[in-house]
Each structure stands twice: as structure tokens, then as C-alpha cells.
């Protein structure tokens, strides 16, 4: 069986982190005949420098043909002045749009070895393992009208519109329920039905989807602001949280800070299952950006990228045992006291990007 991966390392620390995943892929092919067929492409500033576009049509076609895309990070001061349509971020936005990636998965996991050095209370974060499922292609970031109008009296009006249709809520809640079945079987849906019509519809459609197809999963509803509070107060009450694009953007950033460094956080973005094969288009990327302040210095933490690859094994290839082993290897390296600079604390051993990748591979 061949598994087609497209690697888009991007800019800054993106290529440094991706190099560590490439080591893992080669090792899996050599030792376990995992059958990964790897292609490479350019995205972001690197693509702009090569062909004046944030991603070329040829690389976009490769992304659409791949079983999964691994994405590093894009952007940096070098490209601050480039035209808006071809700025580095445009590459990621095009990938999300053309691959129709409507479901963004952001796990918040606190590795036991890091709980003690967390700035939060140890009992709040220790053993934390939650998954935020954010709707990524609808809602207020895309709804029309979206404009600034001149009112003519020295005043202007900024307008964004929150729009959700039934099918969008059905498909995102379906993803959340299905993922919950592989975890603790609990979903909490967050919206603001008390002040938003789209929130009323959201809550109704999630409840109807649950009743029709997923009544074995435990479902609760929470107002999104209260959800933010509960995430900080006692996050371990949650398993899977499903929410819209705007609330998901904020709540996943809040949850991220429960776990330590940006350098630890993976994410996945999934599309709809193909009618014939049942497989989903998918893109996996660390939450962090291109970190120009540390790029080229061998300081980047590769764990976010490696954990994104573990999500790829789990969700695109159903390689559950392999994903578990890779995540366990990360935890074991941390248990041994090995750290990159961003998660360094007293008495631990500091490693560079390559040495951290090697240590994980060794485990
Ligand atoms: P950033 O995530 O690149 O960096 C924020 C801080 O976290 C920096 O101090 C950085 O050194 C540190 N950091 C991030 N990842 C790390 C890692 N793996 N290991 C160790 N330390 C790490 O965000 P920032 O500085 O706001 O943006 C830098 C550039 O990245 C900008 O051009 C921005 O547009 C772009 N960006 C790209 C994203 C993407 O490609 N998806 C996401 C966020 C930002
Ligand atoms: Mg955000």
C-alpha cells in the first residue's frame, strides 16, 4: 500500500521542523515498510521567491492529489512588502479553500513531564487531553455582507456577518461526534444562542444530528463565554469541544496556553469524505508560525510538527498504533528531561532541533 504525502515546509523554522519529520518518515519506510511516497513543494515566501505566487498551481495540484499534506509555517519580515494577493499566508488560505478543509482539530494535551513546570496549577493541567473541533470555512470570517461603508457624516460602519447553514453545522458536528467515539465519547457544543440567531440554529442542528446518528455519545451544550471560563478553571471536564469559526479561534488559543509552549501544539484540518473512497482531504500543521526570531539557529522545537505528523498517521491513515507509539516517544523523551530551549527548565538537558528529532526517533 502506498501512502501519498506532500510536504510543504514553507519558511523560517518550517523547513527545520519538517526535516525532523522527514527522518521519521524515512525510518518508518525502512524499518516497517510503511509505504510513504513523499513529494515536496513550496509554499509561502519560498514559493513567492521561486515563482511569484504563494503556492504554484502545480503544487496546488499535488496537494489535491495527495492523501495528506504536511505543512510547516509561512511568513517572515522578508515578505512584508509583497502584494496582498501573494503574501505568504495566501498560500495556506488557498490550500484550505481548494481542499475544502472545513474542520480544524486542535488538541490540547499536557504531557506529564511538563505539568510540574506549568505556570498554571499542576492539578488543573496534569493529564489534560482535550480536542477542540473548530468550523473553519464559514461563520463571521466569511459571511456577506462584509465591508466598511462610509456613512457620509464623518462616520464609517464596519460590517461582518455571521452566517451558518444547516449542512455546515451537521458536517462539523458529525466530525466531532465521530472523533468523540474514538476518545471519551463526550462532546460539548459551544455557541451563544442567548444573543445570536446563528447560535440558536447551531444548538438545534447539533442536537438533531446527535439524536439522528450519534445518540451513543454524551452531548452537552455551553455558552461560549462560559466555556472560555471553564476551560481555564477546570479543562479536564471536557473531551471534545465543537464550536464555530470565531469562538473556535479564541477558545483554541486559550486551550493552547494550558499546555505550555507554542512549540508543542499540533493541528489538523479535514475536508469531507470522498463519496467513492471515504477518505478525507487533510492538512496537518503546527499551530506556531515561522518564528523568524529563532529561524536558522537550530533552536526550534520540532515537537509541534512531529505531533502533527502523529495526527496524520491517526486521522489520514488509521495508523493508530503507530500514532500512539510516536506520541509515547515524545512523552518518553520529555520524561527523560530532554528539552528544547522554549520548554527548558532547571536541571533539564537542552537539545537543538536535530537532537530532539533524533531523541524521539531513537525512542
Ligand atoms: P510564531 O509562532 O512564529 O512565534 C511566536 C513566538 O513563539 C516566537 O518567539 C517564536 O520564537 C516562538 N516559537 C514559535 N514556534 C516555536 C517552536 N517550534 N520552537 C520554539 N519557539 C517557537 O508567531 P509570530 O512571531 O507572531 O509570527 C512570525 C511569522 O509567522 C509571521 O510572519 C506570521 O505571519 C507567521 N505565522 C504563520 C503561521 C502559519 O504559517 N500557519 C501562523 C502564525 C504566524
Ligand atoms: Mg488564532
Q: Give per-residue pLDDT as tens, 79-109.
A: 999 998 999 999 999 999 999 999 999 999 9
Specify whether the CB–CB gap between 219 and 208 falls below 8 A. Answer: no
pLDDT for 274 equals 83
Task: Give the rounded percent of residues in the chain with a pLDDT score beyond 70.
Answer: 100
User: Could you read off the pLDDT of 279-317 as tens digits, one per residue?
Assistant: 899 999 999 999 999 999 999 999 999 999 999 999 999
List, in order, residues 6 or more apart from 240 with CB less than 8 Å away: 130, 131, 132, 133, 176, 179, 180, 183, 186, 187, 188
Distances (CA, A) of 119 to 21, 116, 152, 261, 288: 29, 9, 50, 11, 20
* Position 117 pLDDT exceeds 80: no
Per-residue DSSP letter, 81: T
266-273/240-243 β-pairing: unpaired
Looking at ligand 1, which residue's alpha carbon is closest to its atom 17? 263
Specify whether the CB–CB gap between 234 and 124 falls below 8 A. Answer: yes
For residue 208, with 0-12 CB atoms within 10 Å meaning exposed, 13-18 middle and 19 or more buried, which class applies? middle
pLDDT for 116 equals 74
As for the ipTM of the complex, it is: 0.98
Atom of ligand 1 nearest to the CA of 79: 32
For residue 219, list its beta bridge partners: 187
Specify whether the CB–CB gap between 187 and 180 falls below 8 A. Answer: yes
Q: Crossing angle, helix 303-315 and helix 14-32, to 10 degrees?
A: 50
* Position 254 pLDDT exceeds 80: yes
User: Could you read off the pLDDT of 165-182 as tens digits, one per residue?
Assistant: 999 999 999 999 999 999
Say how far apart CA 166 and CA 212 lie, in whole Å.
Answer: 14
Looking at ligand 1, which residue's alpha carbon is closest to its atom 8? 291
Known binding-site positions for Mg(2+): 225, 249, 253
Atom of ligand 1 nearest to the CA of 288: 2
Residue 54 Cβ inside 6 Å of ligand 1? The answer reads no
User: Could you read off the pLDDT of 14-41 as tens digits, one per residue?
Assistant: 999 999 999 999 999 999 999 999 999 9
Residue 300 Cβ inside 6 Å of ligand 1? The answer reads yes
Amino acid at each position: 500500500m502506498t501512502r501519498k504525502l506532500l510536504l510543504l515546509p514553507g519558511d523560517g523554522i518550517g523547513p527545520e521542523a519538517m526535516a525532523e519529520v522527514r527522518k521519521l518518515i524515512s525510518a518508518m519506510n525502512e524499518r516497517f515498510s510503511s509505504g510513504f511516497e513523499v513529494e515536496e513543494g513550496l509554499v509561502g515566501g519560498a514559493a513567492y521567491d521561486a515563482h511569484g505566487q504563494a503556492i504554484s498551481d502545480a503544487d496546488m495540484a499535488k496537494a489535491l492529489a495527495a492523501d495528506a499534506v504536511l505543512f510547516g509555517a509561512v511568513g517572515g519580515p522578508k515578505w512584508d512588502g509583497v502584494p496582498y494577493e501573494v503574501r505568504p499566508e495566501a498560500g495556506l488560505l488557498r490550500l484550505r479553500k481548494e481542499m475544502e478543509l472545513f474542520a480544524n482539530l486542535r488538541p490540547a494535551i499536557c504531557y506529564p513531564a511538563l505539568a510540574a513546570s506549568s505556570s498554571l496549577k499542576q492539578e488543573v493541567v496534569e493529564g489534560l487531553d482535550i480536542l477542540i473541533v473548530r468550523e473553519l470555512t464559514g461563520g463571521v470570517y466569511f459571511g456577506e455582507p462584509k465591508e466598511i461603508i462610509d456613512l457620509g457624516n464623518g462616520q464609517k460602519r464596519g460590517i461582518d456577518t455571521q452566517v451558518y447553514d444547516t449542512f455546515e453545522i451537521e458536517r462539523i458536528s458529525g466530525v466531532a461526534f465521530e472523533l468523540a467515539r474514538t476518545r471519551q465519547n463526550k462532546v460539548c457544543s459551544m455557541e451563544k444562542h442567548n444573543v445570536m440567531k446563528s447560535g440558536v440554529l447551531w444548538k438545534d442542528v447539533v442536537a438533531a444530528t446527535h439524536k439522528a446518528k450519534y445518540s451513543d455519545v454524551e452531548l452537552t451544550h455551553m455558552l461560549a463565554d462560559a466555556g472560555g471560563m471553564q476551560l481555564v478553571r477546570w479543562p479536564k471536564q471536557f473531551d471534545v469541544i465543537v464550536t464555530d469559526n470565531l469562538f473556535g479561534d479564541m477558545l483554541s488559543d486559550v486551550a493552547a496556553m494550558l499546555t505550555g509552549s507554542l512549540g508543542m501544539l499540533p493541528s489538523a484540518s479535514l475536508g469531507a469524505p470522498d463519496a467513492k473512497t471515504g477518505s478525507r482531504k487533510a492538512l496537518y500543521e503546527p499551530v506556531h508560525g515561522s518564528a523568524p526570531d529563532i529561524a536558522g539557529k537550530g533552536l526550534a522545537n520540532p515537537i509541534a510538527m512531529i505531533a502533527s505528523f502523529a495526527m496524520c498517521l491517526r486521522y489520514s491513515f488509521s495508523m493508530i498504533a503507530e500514532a500512539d507509539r510516536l506520541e509515547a516517544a515524545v512523552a518518553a523523551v520529555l520524561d527523560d528531561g530532554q528539552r528544547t530551549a522554549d520548554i527548558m527548565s532547571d536541571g533539564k538537558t537542552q537539545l537543538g532541533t536535530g537532537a530532539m528529532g533524533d531523541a524521539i526517533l531513537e525512542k
